[in-house]
């Protein structure tokens, strides 16, 4: 490595936030350096703009310190293959080219609102770097260049986390903003109930008055014509008013089956950012970060063992860590590599047999020693409501059934009841580790 660059890097590393450093500075490659100038390779225009806007003075300064004279950086956009160590995929570079103007840097939070999902607790690696940067871009300049932003990627890889982080950031920095986050399913259910009550005006007004609209899991509206139509009109109205739209999906828009071509093309207007499964190094970093959050003591070896489970998403990794923590605390033992190996062996990530709502209800009833028909009933005894809510929560986690369908399976309850149960259990699990352990155990039983 060029020695001046090496020293400049060391200086920058000291000065910058670790994440900024690894995200923006580390990937730079020196192409040439001479008296008064240095030429750096960047993966795409997006990177170049971002660095120019946010890191140019710092770069100049560190180069001056490292070399003893002024060096002006220039940037060359290089093909991925030709930039060693670059992890930008061509597809992302293409998406990035659509971004012309740079965005404003992210202002630091003065009084952060506590949130489980923020940019601060999102671990960045090559697999999610682009989506992360795009989400930050949309947050710092809502309705600007990154509009609409479409984030897509597999299950459990951090899409919802990023959407919530955008909402969180905007809520803190633009307190007067009207910010709406919802899943496409919630949007659909709300639409249906407004149609039923003939209150479509209220519905439209609500969505058209927002400044930042975040719709999660948009693939849910595939094949639902009326919902798509409403999304389309909402989209147009907000887009014209330069309001920020962020959408997440498990697929790239053009591959979502039964999605209206007009919507596909709308989503294509903006920035498409994908999230790939994390590499082992990123997984290890996420594991270490989660261990801190969960107050688990993990050795590097254990972190690495967990990270090497093939095909595990971040969500599954989290589940695994909770399990490990519970095993260790039950045995009153530290999390040793032996324990980790034992627990890992018990886990089967991929199951072919789909779990049904009936499976869940049966299992949960047996576990709590109550009758199936009572779980499905509407009796409000605590001994029944807990199993009922747990079963609803698990059905939601383990099957692909929608809220109304789950309500149906539980003796004809409405979607709001199921949504309420899911939220309640999720909240209670955070405070009640015994409940979390029970649920974990039930998941295991149902999966195997």
Enumerate binding residues for ligand ADP (CB under 6 A): 117, 122-123, 128, 153, 155-161, 286, 314-315, 318
Of 230, 233, 228, which is closest to residue 218 (Cα–Cα)?
228
Residue with tokens 């209670």: 428
Distance CA 138, CA 240 (A): 16
Of 346, 350, 439, 341, which is closest to residue 389 (Cα–Cα)?
439
Of 396, 382, 386, 381, which is closest to residue 364 (Cα–Cα)?
386
**Residue 160 interacts with Mg ion (CB under 5 A)?**
yes
**Residue 397 interacts with Mg ion (CB under 5 A)?**
no
Distance CA 233, CA 238 (A): 9
Taking CB under 5 A as the rule, which mask of x and - marks residues 100-139 in contact with Mg ion? ----------------------------------------
Q: Measured from the CB of residue 184, what is the shortest distance to ligand ADP in angstroms?
A: 12
Q: Which one of Mg ion, ligand ADP, none is in contact with 145 (Cβ closer than 5 to 8 A by kind)?
A: none
Query: How many residues at the interface with Mg ion, by CB under 5 A?
Result: 2
**Residue 183 interacts with Mg ion (CB under 5 A)?**
no
Q: Is the dihedral of CA 417, 419, 421, 424 positive or negative?
A: negative
Q: Which one of ligand ADP, Mg ion, none is in contact with 420 (Cβ closer than 5 to 8 A by kind)?
A: none
Q: Measured from the CB of residue 57, what is the shortest distance to ligand ADP in angstroms?
A: 29
Q: Measured from the CB of residue 314, what is the shortest distance to ligand ADP in angstroms?
A: 3
For ligand ADP, the nearest residue by Cβ is: 158
Residue placing its CB nearer to ligand ADP in the complex, 78 or 276: 276
User: If phi over 0 gives left and psi between -120 and 50 gives alpha, with beta otherwise, what is residue 303?
Assistant: alpha
Residue placing its CB nearer to ligand ADP in the complex, 275 or 361: 275
Q: Measured from the CB of residue 292, what is the shortest distance to ligand ADP in angstroms?
A: 11
**Residue 62 interacts with Mg ion (CB under 5 A)?**
no
Q: 10 Å Cβ neighbour count for 432?
A: 13
Q: Which one of Mg ion, ligand ADP, none is in contact with 56 (Cβ closer than 5 to 8 A by kind)?
A: none
Residue placing its CB nearer to ligand ADP in the complex, 312 or 446: 312
Residue placing its CB nearer to ligand ADP in the complex, 160 or 386: 160
Residue placing its CB nearer to Mg ion in the complex, 159 or 323: 159
At 194, phi and psi to the nearest 5?
Answer: -70, -35
The residues near 245 (Cβ < 8 Å, ≥ 6 apart) are 147, 148, 149, 212, 213, 214, 215, 235, 238, 239, 270
Whether the Cβ atoms of residue 263 and residue 247 lie closer than 8 Å to each other: no
Whether the Cβ atoms of residue 41 and residue 31 lie closer than 8 Å to each other: yes
* Secondary structure in 3-state letters for 177-221: CCEEEEEHHHHHHHHHHHHHCCCHHHHHHHHHCCCEEEEECHHHH
> If DSSP codes are grouped into helix, strand and coil, which group holds residue 150?
strand
Residue placing its CB nearer to ligand ADP in the complex, 148 or 158: 158
Q: Measured from the CB of residue 241, what is the shortest distance to ligand ADP in angstroms?
A: 27
184: which 2 tokens?
């496409």
The residues near 286 (Cβ < 8 Å, ≥ 6 apart) are 123, 278, 314, 317
Q: Measured from the CB of residue 122, what is the shortest distance to ligand ADP in angstroms?
A: 4
In DSSP terms, 30 is beta-bridged to: 40
**Residue 228 interacts with Mg ion (CB under 5 A)?**
no
Q: Which one of ligand ADP, Mg ion, none is in contact with 283 (Cβ closer than 5 to 8 A by kind)?
A: none
Q: Which one of Mg ion, ligand ADP, none is in contact with 158 (Cβ closer than 5 to 8 A by kind)?
A: ligand ADP
Span near Mg ion by CB under 5 A; candidates 137-145, 157-165, 296-304, 365-373? 157-165
Residue placing its CB nearer to Mg ion in the complex, 159 or 376: 159
Residue placing its CB nearer to ligand ADP in the complex, 2 or 121: 121
Q: Which one of ligand ADP, Mg ion, none is in contact with 157 (Cβ closer than 5 to 8 A by kind)?
A: ligand ADP
Residues lying near Mg ion in the complex (CB under 5 A) are found at 159-160
């Amino acid at each position: 490595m060029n020695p001046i660059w090496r020293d400049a890097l060391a200086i920058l590393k000291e000065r910058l936030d670790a994440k900024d450093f690894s995200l923006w500075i580390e990937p730079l490659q020196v192409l040439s350096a001479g008296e008064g100038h240095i030429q750096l390779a960047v993966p795409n225009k997006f990177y170049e703009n971002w660095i120019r806007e946010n890191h140019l003075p710092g770069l100049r300064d560190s180069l001056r310190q490292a070399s003893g004279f002024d060096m002006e950086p220039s940037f060359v956009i290089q093909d991925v293959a030709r930039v060693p160590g670059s992890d930008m995929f061509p597809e992302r570079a293409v998406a990035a080219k659509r971004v012309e103007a740079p965005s404003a840097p992210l202002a630091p939070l003065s009084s952060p609102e506590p949130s489980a999902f923020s940019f601060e607790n999102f671990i960045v690696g090559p697999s999610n770097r682009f989506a992360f940067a795009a989400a930050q871009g949309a947050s710092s300049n809502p309705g600007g260049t990154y509009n609409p932003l479409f984030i897509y990627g597999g299950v459990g890889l951090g899409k919802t986390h990023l959407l919530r982080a955008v909402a969180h950031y905007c809520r803190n920095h633009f307190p007067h903003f009207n910010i709406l986050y919802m899943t496409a399913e919630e949007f659909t259910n709300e639409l249906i109930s407004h149609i039923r009550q003939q209150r479509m005006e209220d519905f439209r007004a609500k969505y058209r008055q927002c400044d930042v609209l975040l719709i999660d899991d948009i693939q849910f509206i595939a094949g639902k014509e009326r919902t798509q139509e409403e999304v389309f009109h909402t989209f147009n109205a907000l887009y014209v008013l330069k309001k920020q739209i962020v959408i997440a999906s498990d697929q790239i828009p053009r591959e979502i089956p039964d999605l209206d071509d007009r919507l596909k093309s709308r989503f294509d207007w903006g920035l498409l950012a994908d999230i790939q499964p994390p590499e082992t190094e990123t997984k290890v970093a996420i594991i270490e970060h989660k261990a801190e959050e969960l107050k688990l003591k993990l050795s590097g070896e254990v972190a690495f063992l967990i990270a090497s489970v093939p095909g595990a998403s971040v969500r599954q990794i989290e589940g695994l860590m909770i399990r490990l923590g519970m095993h260790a605390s039950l045995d009153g033992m530290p999390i040793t590599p032996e324990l980790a190996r034992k627990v890992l062996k018990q886990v089967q990530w991929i199951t072919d047999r789909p779990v049904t709502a009936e499976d869940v209800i049966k299992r949960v009833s047996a576990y709590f020693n109550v009758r199936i028909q009572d779980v499905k009933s509407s009796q409000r005894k605590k001994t029944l409501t807990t199993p009922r809510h747990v079963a609803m929560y698990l059905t939601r986690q383990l099957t692909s059934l929608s809220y109304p369908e789950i309500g149906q399976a539980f003796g004809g309850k409405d979607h709001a009841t199921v949504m309420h149960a899911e939220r309640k259990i999720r909240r209670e699990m955070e405070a009640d580790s015994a409940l979390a352990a029970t649920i974990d155990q039930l998941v295991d039983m149902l999966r195997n």
